[in-house]
Every structure is written in structure tokens, then in C-alpha cells.
Amino acid sequence: MKRIACLLLALVTMFTFSACHKNAPSPGAQTMIVGKWNLQKQSYVQYINNVKQVDTVCLASDTTAANVQFNADKSYKSVGTYLSKDLNNPANAEAEVTGTYTASNSALTVSNTMAGLLFFQAFYSASTNYNINTAITNLVHTSKLNAITSTTLSIHTEDSYTATANSVSTNYKTVNDFYYTK
């Protein structure tokens, strides 16, 4: 009788625990990032020779918009547009960036910084003459996945390089924080 009770208890315990199962794991960043994301806000900081030159935040509007489409094949396409409201002097602009990416729970690697909401010369001021013989060296690009949910995405990127023209070298660094919604 004792043996039957133990066997019965073992069976009840086995069925009880087999009926309980853990929730399905949440999808990883690689799965969650796939789709079209609309840029809502971009924080942009630029340093020239380690001195902060620009520190601004730009919000999406009816004249300025950007998005990025992350595809399941690990490619992406990003488009930023500016539509001028000045009919006498239209200055519409569009930037498109394509590349590849990899994503994991806390890491994101993109081959190029995505198009954003800012449309101005980041490399040269209006008073600087562009020299076609400018050499770009020491190019470094990093990216980080700050946060991702099913409806929000935050990406941090940093780009730095040295531009040399007429034997004069200038160091540039740009820091972007992109805030998207789906």
C-alpha cells in the first residue's frame, strides 16, 4: 500500500510540474528590430579638434522626417527628408544611407550612421572652401543599441575621422542619439 501511495504521489507530482511551463522567451533584438522605424528625435553633438562646436536636438516635424527600415536579411535603408515651406526659395533635401547590421540583446552594429533629421554642413563651415584633395584618415564608427521594445528603439552612434587638406589636419567627431517609434 505504501508503495502504491509513493507511486501515486510521484505521478501526481510529475503531471503537476509538466503542466507548468515557463513563458515563451521574449523575442531577441535581432527579431524585434526588423521593420520600419520612424525617427522622432535626434540628439547631435559635433566636436572639431576636441572642442564642442554643435550640441542640438532636432524633432520630427511636417517638414523634417527620417526613418530606417531594418530587414530580416540584416540589411537596412535609412532616409531623411527636409521639405522647404518657402515657395520662393525651395531648398528640399534628401539623404539616403544603406548598409548592413547585426543586433543582439545589448549590441547593435551598423555599417554606417543612419540618415537623420539634421541637414547642414557638418564638415566645413560656410566660410571654408572645400578642397577636393582632402584626405580622410583614421575613420572610426561605433554604434550601440540603447533600448528596444516592440514600439520604441534608441540607437547611439559615434563617428570620428581626420581630414587633411593643404598639410593641415582637422579631427572631427560626431555623436548621435536616435529615438524611433514603430
**pLDDT above 60: residue 19:** no
For the segment 105-116, the average pLDDT, to the nearest whole number, is 85
Of 88 and 137, the one with more pLDDT:
137
Q: What pLDDT shows up at residue 113?
A: 87
Domain annotation covers residue 2: no
For the segment 144-154, the average pLDDT, to the nearest whole number, is 93
Quick one: 149 exposed, middle or buried, by C-beta within 10 A (0-12, 13-18, 19+)?
Answer: exposed
Domain annotation covers residue 23: no
Domain annotation covers residue 7: no
Domain that holds residue 125: 28-181
Domain annotation covers residue 166: yes
Q: What is the CATH number of the domain that holds 93?
A: 2.40.128
Q: What pLDDT shows up at residue 132?
A: 62
**pLDDT above 50: residue 81:** yes
Q: What pLDDT shows up at residue 123?
A: 37
Q: What pLDDT shows up at residue 27?
A: 65
Domain annotation covers residue 142: yes
Give the DSSP letter string of 14-62.
HHHHHH--PPPPPPPHHHHT-EEEEEEEEEEEEEETTEEEEEEEEE--S
With the C-alpha atoms ordered 109, 112, 115, 116, is the resulting torsion angle positive or negative? positive
Count: domains in the chain: 1
Q: What pLDDT shows up at residue 25?
A: 43
